[in-house]
Amino acid sequence: MIIVLKPKTKSKDLKHLISKIKEYKLIPHISKGKERTIIGVIGDERVLQTVSLESFSCVEKVMQILKPYKLASKDFKSTPTLVKVGDYFIGGKQVILIAGPCSVEGREKFLKAAKMVKEAGAHILRGGAFKPRTSPYSFQGLGEEGLKILAEARDIFNMPVVTEVLDTRHVELVNRYADMFQIGARNMQNFELLKEVGKTNKPVLLKRGLMATVEEWLMSAEYILSNGNMNVVLCERGIRTFEKATRNTLDLSTVPLIKELSHLPIIIDPSHGTGKKKLIPAMARAAVAAGADGLTIEVHPNPAEALSDGDQSLLPSEYSKLVKEVEKIAKAIDRKI
Protein backbone atom coordinates (compact mmCIF):
# COMPACT_ATOMS: atom_id res chain seq x y z
CA MET A 1 0.00 0.00 0.00
CA ILE A 2 0.93 3.65 -0.34
CA ILE A 3 0.36 6.18 2.43
CA VAL A 4 0.15 9.79 1.28
CA LEU A 5 0.93 12.24 4.08
CA LYS A 6 -0.57 15.67 4.48
CA PRO A 7 1.58 18.66 3.50
CA LYS A 8 3.91 19.93 6.23
CA THR A 9 3.66 16.77 8.32
CA LYS A 10 5.77 17.13 11.46
CA SER A 11 8.73 14.79 11.90
CA LYS A 12 7.41 13.50 15.25
CA ASP A 13 4.13 12.47 13.57
CA LEU A 14 6.05 10.73 10.80
CA LYS A 15 8.20 8.85 13.32
CA HIS A 16 5.10 7.75 15.24
CA LEU A 17 3.48 6.45 12.07
CA ILE A 18 6.65 4.59 11.04
CA SER A 19 6.91 2.93 14.45
CA LYS A 20 3.29 1.80 14.19
CA ILE A 21 3.91 0.31 10.73
CA LYS A 22 6.91 -1.60 12.09
CA GLU A 23 4.80 -2.95 14.95
CA TYR A 24 2.84 -4.89 12.35
CA LYS A 25 6.17 -6.32 11.06
CA LEU A 26 5.73 -4.36 7.84
CA ILE A 27 8.53 -2.55 6.00
CA PRO A 28 8.13 1.20 5.31
CA HIS A 29 9.95 2.95 2.44
CA ILE A 30 9.82 6.74 2.58
CA SER A 31 9.84 8.86 -0.57
CA LYS A 32 10.03 12.61 0.03
CA GLY A 33 8.85 14.90 -2.76
CA LYS A 34 8.91 18.67 -2.97
CA GLU A 35 5.38 19.04 -1.62
CA ARG A 36 4.42 15.69 -0.13
CA THR A 37 5.89 12.63 1.48
CA ILE A 38 4.63 9.17 0.67
CA ILE A 39 5.36 5.87 2.39
CA GLY A 40 5.37 2.60 0.52
CA VAL A 41 4.46 -0.24 2.86
CA ILE A 42 5.35 -3.81 1.95
CA GLY A 43 5.03 -7.08 3.80
CA ASP A 44 2.53 -9.88 4.38
CA GLU A 45 -0.48 -9.04 2.22
CA ARG A 46 -2.84 -10.62 4.76
CA VAL A 47 -1.60 -8.18 7.39
CA LEU A 48 -1.89 -5.28 4.97
CA GLN A 49 -5.59 -6.07 4.47
CA THR A 50 -6.28 -5.75 8.20
CA VAL A 51 -4.26 -2.62 8.93
CA SER A 52 -6.07 0.71 9.17
CA LEU A 53 -3.78 3.73 9.03
CA GLU A 54 -6.23 6.35 7.80
CA SER A 55 -6.97 7.34 11.39
CA PHE A 56 -3.56 8.96 11.88
CA SER A 57 -3.86 12.74 11.78
CA CYS A 58 -0.88 13.11 9.41
CA VAL A 59 -2.33 10.72 6.82
CA GLU A 60 -4.20 12.21 3.87
CA LYS A 61 -5.07 8.93 2.14
CA VAL A 62 -4.09 5.29 1.80
CA MET A 63 -4.01 3.57 -1.60
CA GLN A 64 -3.49 -0.03 -2.64
CA ILE A 65 -0.87 -0.75 -5.31
CA LEU A 66 -2.42 -3.23 -7.70
CA LYS A 67 0.77 -4.05 -9.61
CA PRO A 68 2.83 -6.96 -8.23
CA TYR A 69 5.93 -4.75 -8.26
CA LYS A 70 5.22 -2.15 -5.59
CA LEU A 71 8.35 -0.06 -5.03
CA ALA A 72 9.36 -0.15 -8.70
CA SER A 73 6.02 1.20 -9.86
CA LYS A 74 5.08 4.76 -10.64
CA ASP A 75 2.32 4.45 -8.07
CA PHE A 76 5.02 4.53 -5.41
CA LYS A 77 7.10 7.27 -7.03
CA SER A 78 5.78 9.39 -9.88
CA THR A 79 9.02 11.30 -10.56
CA PRO A 80 12.05 9.67 -12.26
CA THR A 81 14.67 8.22 -9.95
CA LEU A 82 18.21 9.52 -10.38
CA VAL A 83 20.88 6.94 -9.60
CA LYS A 84 24.27 8.43 -8.70
CA VAL A 85 27.35 6.56 -9.95
CA GLY A 86 30.52 8.42 -9.15
CA ASP A 87 29.90 12.01 -10.23
CA TYR A 88 27.17 11.06 -12.72
CA PHE A 89 23.41 10.67 -12.42
CA ILE A 90 21.61 8.05 -14.50
CA GLY A 91 18.00 9.00 -15.19
CA GLY A 92 18.40 12.74 -15.64
CA LYS A 93 18.84 14.95 -18.67
CA GLN A 94 22.30 13.55 -19.44
CA VAL A 95 22.53 10.30 -21.42
CA ILE A 96 25.23 8.29 -19.63
CA LEU A 97 27.74 6.33 -21.69
CA ILE A 98 29.25 3.13 -20.29
CA ALA A 99 32.04 1.48 -22.28
CA GLY A 100 34.96 -0.90 -22.07
CA PRO A 101 36.01 -4.45 -22.92
CA CYS A 102 33.84 -7.43 -22.11
CA SER A 103 36.54 -8.81 -19.80
CA VAL A 104 39.48 -7.47 -17.85
CA GLU A 105 42.19 -9.45 -19.67
CA GLY A 106 45.28 -7.93 -18.07
CA ARG A 107 46.56 -4.69 -16.60
CA GLU A 108 48.25 -3.14 -19.64
CA LYS A 109 45.47 -4.10 -22.05
CA PHE A 110 42.74 -2.80 -19.79
CA LEU A 111 44.43 0.50 -18.95
CA LYS A 112 44.95 1.06 -22.67
CA ALA A 113 41.26 0.40 -23.33
CA ALA A 114 40.19 2.62 -20.43
CA LYS A 115 42.28 5.53 -21.74
CA MET A 116 40.75 5.17 -25.20
CA VAL A 117 37.10 5.05 -24.10
CA LYS A 118 37.69 7.98 -21.75
CA GLU A 119 39.10 10.05 -24.62
CA ALA A 120 36.17 9.01 -26.81
CA GLY A 121 33.66 10.42 -24.33
CA ALA A 122 32.56 7.53 -22.09
CA HIS A 123 31.51 8.41 -18.54
CA ILE A 124 31.62 5.02 -16.80
CA LEU A 125 34.09 2.18 -17.37
CA ARG A 126 32.92 -1.42 -17.72
CA GLY A 127 34.84 -4.69 -17.56
CA GLY A 128 34.21 -8.19 -16.26
CA ALA A 129 36.36 -9.63 -13.48
CA PHE A 130 34.07 -12.66 -13.12
CA LYS A 131 32.65 -13.96 -16.41
CA PRO A 132 29.64 -16.30 -16.76
CA ARG A 133 30.39 -18.36 -19.86
CA THR A 134 28.32 -20.96 -21.68
CA SER A 135 31.36 -23.24 -21.87
CA PRO A 136 33.27 -24.17 -18.69
CA TYR A 137 36.45 -24.15 -20.81
CA SER A 138 36.13 -20.50 -21.86
CA PHE A 139 37.92 -17.62 -20.12
CA GLN A 140 36.22 -17.10 -16.75
CA GLY A 141 37.82 -13.80 -15.74
CA LEU A 142 40.70 -12.80 -13.44
CA GLY A 143 38.64 -12.56 -10.24
CA GLU A 144 40.04 -10.26 -7.54
CA GLU A 145 43.08 -9.44 -9.70
CA GLY A 146 40.65 -8.09 -12.31
CA LEU A 147 38.83 -6.06 -9.66
CA LYS A 148 42.11 -4.47 -8.58
CA ILE A 149 42.86 -3.52 -12.20
CA LEU A 150 39.38 -1.97 -12.50
CA ALA A 151 39.96 0.07 -9.34
CA GLU A 152 43.36 1.23 -10.61
CA ALA A 153 41.83 2.33 -13.91
CA ARG A 154 39.15 4.26 -12.02
CA ASP A 155 41.77 6.14 -10.03
CA ILE A 156 43.96 6.90 -13.05
CA PHE A 157 41.21 8.05 -15.42
CA ASN A 158 38.67 9.35 -12.88
CA MET A 159 35.92 7.06 -14.16
CA PRO A 160 33.56 5.07 -11.94
CA VAL A 161 33.56 1.35 -12.76
CA VAL A 162 30.80 -1.23 -13.13
CA THR A 163 31.41 -4.97 -13.07
CA GLU A 164 29.34 -8.12 -12.80
CA VAL A 165 28.82 -10.01 -9.56
CA LEU A 166 27.91 -13.68 -10.03
CA ASP A 167 27.58 -15.09 -6.55
CA THR A 168 26.40 -14.05 -3.09
CA ARG A 169 29.88 -14.98 -1.83
CA HIS A 170 31.42 -12.30 -4.07
CA VAL A 171 29.16 -9.38 -3.12
CA GLU A 172 31.40 -8.09 -0.34
CA LEU A 173 34.50 -8.45 -2.51
CA VAL A 174 33.04 -6.67 -5.55
CA ASN A 175 31.55 -4.01 -3.27
CA ARG A 176 35.07 -3.25 -2.05
CA TYR A 177 36.38 -2.37 -5.53
CA ALA A 178 33.51 -1.37 -7.84
CA ASP A 179 31.24 1.67 -7.98
CA MET A 180 28.28 -0.27 -9.39
CA PHE A 181 27.18 -3.89 -9.35
CA GLN A 182 26.02 -5.51 -12.56
CA ILE A 183 23.53 -8.36 -12.35
CA GLY A 184 23.78 -10.26 -15.62
CA ALA A 185 20.93 -11.69 -17.65
CA ARG A 186 21.54 -15.22 -16.38
CA ASN A 187 21.27 -14.03 -12.78
CA MET A 188 18.20 -11.81 -13.15
CA GLN A 189 16.17 -14.30 -11.12
CA ASN A 190 18.92 -15.34 -8.74
CA PHE A 191 16.82 -14.06 -5.86
CA GLU A 192 19.39 -14.66 -3.12
CA LEU A 193 21.92 -12.58 -5.07
CA LEU A 194 19.34 -9.84 -5.61
CA LYS A 195 18.60 -9.76 -1.88
CA GLU A 196 22.30 -9.55 -1.06
CA VAL A 197 23.03 -6.56 -3.33
CA GLY A 198 19.77 -5.07 -2.02
CA LYS A 199 21.33 -4.96 1.46
CA THR A 200 24.06 -2.66 0.17
CA ASN A 201 23.52 0.93 -0.90
CA LYS A 202 25.64 0.56 -4.03
CA PRO A 203 24.01 1.20 -7.45
CA VAL A 204 22.87 -1.93 -9.29
CA LEU A 205 22.69 -2.37 -13.07
CA LEU A 206 20.01 -5.05 -13.53
CA LYS A 207 20.02 -6.71 -16.94
CA ARG A 208 16.87 -8.25 -18.36
CA GLY A 209 16.85 -12.04 -18.43
CA LEU A 210 17.25 -13.95 -21.68
CA MET A 211 13.54 -14.83 -21.83
CA ALA A 212 12.08 -12.59 -19.15
CA THR A 213 8.91 -10.56 -19.48
CA VAL A 214 8.95 -6.91 -18.46
CA GLU A 215 6.90 -7.76 -15.38
CA GLU A 216 9.36 -10.47 -14.33
CA TRP A 217 12.20 -8.00 -14.83
CA LEU A 218 10.52 -5.40 -12.63
CA MET A 219 9.77 -8.06 -10.01
CA SER A 220 13.51 -8.81 -9.90
CA ALA A 221 14.15 -5.11 -9.34
CA GLU A 222 11.58 -5.31 -6.54
CA TYR A 223 13.77 -7.82 -4.69
CA ILE A 224 16.60 -5.27 -4.61
CA LEU A 225 14.35 -2.33 -3.72
CA SER A 226 12.50 -4.21 -0.98
CA ASN A 227 15.80 -4.94 0.76
CA GLY A 228 16.49 -1.23 1.07
CA ASN A 229 18.61 -0.40 -1.99
CA MET A 230 16.71 2.07 -4.19
CA ASN A 231 19.63 2.64 -6.59
CA VAL A 232 18.57 0.36 -9.44
CA VAL A 233 19.16 0.92 -13.15
CA LEU A 234 17.44 -1.40 -15.62
CA CYS A 235 19.32 -2.61 -18.70
CA GLU A 236 17.67 -4.04 -21.81
CA ARG A 237 20.19 -6.35 -23.50
CA GLY A 238 18.06 -8.32 -25.91
CA ILE A 239 15.89 -11.39 -25.44
CA ARG A 240 15.85 -14.79 -27.10
CA THR A 241 13.35 -15.27 -29.89
CA PHE A 242 13.14 -17.64 -32.86
CA GLU A 243 15.32 -15.21 -34.88
CA LYS A 244 18.82 -16.55 -35.60
CA ALA A 245 20.22 -13.67 -37.66
CA THR A 246 21.24 -11.82 -34.50
CA ARG A 247 22.54 -13.01 -31.14
CA ASN A 248 19.40 -11.70 -29.42
CA THR A 249 16.39 -9.57 -30.32
CA LEU A 250 16.88 -6.08 -28.93
CA ASP A 251 13.54 -4.90 -27.55
CA LEU A 252 13.72 -1.10 -27.80
CA SER A 253 10.01 -0.83 -27.03
CA THR A 254 10.95 -1.44 -23.39
CA VAL A 255 12.32 2.11 -23.14
CA PRO A 256 8.98 3.98 -23.40
CA LEU A 257 7.19 1.07 -21.70
CA ILE A 258 9.42 1.12 -18.62
CA LYS A 259 9.07 4.89 -18.41
CA GLU A 260 5.29 4.42 -18.37
CA LEU A 261 5.34 1.70 -15.72
CA SER A 262 8.29 2.60 -13.48
CA HIS A 263 10.33 5.46 -12.07
CA LEU A 264 13.58 3.51 -12.53
CA PRO A 265 16.05 4.61 -15.23
CA ILE A 266 16.69 2.33 -18.19
CA ILE A 267 19.75 1.95 -20.39
CA ILE A 268 20.36 -0.13 -23.52
CA ASP A 269 23.08 -2.66 -24.35
CA PRO A 270 23.20 -2.90 -28.16
CA SER A 271 26.35 -5.06 -28.02
CA HIS A 272 24.65 -8.11 -26.47
CA GLY A 273 21.35 -7.04 -27.99
CA THR A 274 22.58 -7.73 -31.51
CA GLY A 275 25.88 -9.59 -31.19
CA LYS A 276 27.01 -7.95 -34.43
CA LYS A 277 29.25 -4.90 -34.37
CA LYS A 278 27.82 -3.52 -37.63
CA LEU A 279 24.38 -3.27 -36.03
CA ILE A 280 25.53 -1.59 -32.82
CA PRO A 281 25.69 2.05 -34.07
CA ALA A 282 22.17 2.00 -35.54
CA MET A 283 20.66 0.42 -32.42
CA ALA A 284 22.56 2.83 -30.16
CA ARG A 285 21.24 5.82 -32.11
CA ALA A 286 17.71 4.40 -32.01
CA ALA A 287 17.95 3.78 -28.26
CA VAL A 288 18.86 7.42 -27.53
CA ALA A 289 16.06 8.60 -29.83
CA ALA A 290 13.62 6.36 -27.94
CA GLY A 291 14.57 8.03 -24.65
CA ALA A 292 17.08 5.63 -23.10
CA ASP A 293 18.96 7.05 -20.12
CA GLY A 294 22.24 5.53 -21.21
CA LEU A 295 24.15 3.06 -23.36
CA THR A 296 26.56 0.31 -22.39
CA ILE A 297 28.78 -0.77 -25.27
CA GLU A 298 31.70 -3.16 -25.53
CA VAL A 299 34.88 -1.53 -26.87
CA HIS A 300 38.23 -3.28 -27.33
CA PRO A 301 41.54 -1.97 -28.78
CA ASN A 302 41.92 -5.21 -30.78
CA PRO A 303 38.65 -7.18 -30.96
CA ALA A 304 40.30 -10.01 -32.91
CA GLU A 305 42.40 -10.79 -29.82
CA ALA A 306 39.61 -10.37 -27.26
CA LEU A 307 39.17 -13.33 -24.90
CA SER A 308 35.39 -12.84 -24.96
CA ASP A 309 32.81 -11.11 -27.19
CA GLY A 310 35.29 -9.83 -29.75
CA ASP A 311 32.69 -10.14 -32.53
CA GLN A 312 30.46 -7.56 -30.85
CA SER A 313 33.16 -5.11 -29.73
CA LEU A 314 33.76 -1.77 -31.41
CA LEU A 315 37.21 -0.36 -32.04
CA PRO A 316 37.90 2.82 -30.03
CA SER A 317 37.81 4.86 -33.27
CA GLU A 318 34.40 3.40 -34.13
CA TYR A 319 33.15 4.16 -30.64
CA SER A 320 34.42 7.75 -30.83
CA LYS A 321 32.48 8.25 -34.06
CA LEU A 322 29.34 6.77 -32.49
CA VAL A 323 29.57 9.09 -29.47
CA LYS A 324 29.50 12.10 -31.78
CA GLU A 325 26.45 10.69 -33.58
CA VAL A 326 24.41 9.99 -30.45
CA GLU A 327 25.37 13.40 -29.09
CA LYS A 328 23.51 14.99 -32.01
CA ILE A 329 20.45 12.84 -31.39
CA ALA A 330 20.47 13.62 -27.68
CA LYS A 331 20.57 17.33 -28.44
CA ALA A 332 17.61 16.98 -30.82
CA ILE A 333 15.43 15.60 -28.00
CA ASP A 334 16.63 18.18 -25.45
CA ARG A 335 19.14 15.93 -23.72
CA LYS A 336 22.91 15.90 -23.63
CA ILE A 337 25.84 13.48 -23.55
DSSP string of 74-106?
A: TTT--SPPPEEETTEEETSSBPEEEEE-SB---
| Averaged pLDDT of the chain | 92
| Residue 323 pLDDT grade (very low, low, confident, very high; cuts 50, 70, 90) | very high
pLDDT band at 34 (very low <50, low <70, confident <90, very high): low
Instruction: Inform me whether the pLDDT recorded for 134 exceeds 80.
Output: no
Spatial CA neighbour of 208 closest among 189, 185, 187: 185
Over 70: is that where the pLDDT of 136 sits?
no
More confident of the two residues 107 and 132 = 107
pLDDT tens digits for range 41-68: 888 767 767 777 888 889 888 888 878 8
The Cα 70–Cα 2 span in angstroms is: 9
DSSP string, 107-143: HHHHHHHHHHHHHHT-SEEE-BSS---SSTTS----T
d(Cα 274, Cα 97) in Å, to the nearest integer?
18
List, by residue range, all CATH 3.30.70.1140 domains of the chain: 2-63
pLDDT at 137: 55
Which whole number is the average pLDDT over 307-333? Answer: 94
Q: List, for residues 176-192, the tens digit of each pLDDT value.
A: 999 999 999 999 999 99
Residue that wins the pLDDT comparison between 260 and 142: 260
The span from the CA of 302 to the CA of 109, in Å, is 9
Asked if residue 215 has pLDDT above 80, the reply is yes
> Per-residue pLDDT for 277 more than 90?
yes
Q: How far apart are CA 185 and CA 209, in angstroms?
A: 4
How far CA 247 is from CA of 238, 242, 282, in Å, comes to 8, 11, 16
- pLDDT tens, position by position, 101-126: 999 999 999 999 999 999 999 999 99
CA distance 128 to 267: 18
pLDDT at 198 over 60: yes
**d(C-alpha 289, C-alpha 231), whole Å:** 24
Q: Is pLDDT at 289 greater than 60 in this prediction?
A: yes
Instruction: With beta carbons less than 8 A apart as the criterion, state whether 301 and 315 touch.
Output: yes
* CATH, range 83-332: 3.20.20.70
User: In whole angstroms, how large is the CA radius of gyration of the chain?
Assistant: 21
**What gap in Å lies between CA 70 and CA 243, rounded to an integer?**
34
Mean pLDDT along residues 324-333: 98
- Whether 273 has a pLDDT exceeding 60, the answer reads yes
CA 150 to centroid of chain Cα atoms: 19
> What residue spans in the chain does CATH classification 3.20.20.70 cover?
83-332
- Whether residue 112 contacts residue 262, with contact meaning beta carbons closer than 8 Å, is answered with no
What average pLDDT does this structure show over 229-252?
96
| pLDDT computed for residue 140 by the predictor | 66
First to last CA, the chain: 37
2-63: CATH topology is Alpha-Beta Plaits (3.30.70)
What pTM, to 2 d.p., does this model score? 0.90
pLDDT at position 142 is 85
